[in-house]
Amino acid sequence: PGPWPRWLLSLLPLGCFALLLPPPGAAEFSPSLDSDFTFTLPAGRKECFYQPMRKEASLELEYQVLDGAGLDVDFHLLSPKGETLVFDERKSDGVHTVETEDGDYMFCFDNTFSTISEKVIFFELILDNMGEDGQDQEDWKKYVTGTDLLDMKLEDILESINSVKARLSKSVQIQTLLRAFEARDRNIQESNFDRVNFWSMVNLGVMVVVSAVQVYMLKSLFEDKRKSRT
Q: Is the separation of the CB atoms in 51 and 59 below 8 Å?
A: yes
Residue 100, pLDDT score: 92
Residue 43, pLDDT score: 92
Q: Is the separation of the CB atoms in 31 and 24 below 8 Å?
A: no
Residue 142, pLDDT score: 56
Helix (DSSP H) and strand (DSSP E) numbers for the chain: 3, 8
Alpha-carbon gap, residue 104 to 212, rounded angstroms: 69
* 3-class state of residue 213 by DSSP: helix
pLDDT digit string (tens) for the chain, length 230 residues: 444 444 344 434 433 333 334 344 444 444 447 788 889 999 999 999 999 999 888 898 999 998 888 889 999 999 999 999 999 999 988 989 999 999 999 999 999 999 888 999 999 898 887 765 545 555 555 555 554 545 556 777 777 787 787 778 778 777 877 777 787 788 888 888 888 998 999 999 999 999 888 888 888 877 766 655 55
Return the CATH fold of 29-131: Jelly Rolls (2.60.120)
Residue 131, pLDDT score: 64
Domain boundaries, the chain: 29-131, 161-229
Pairing of strands 93-99, 103-110: unpaired
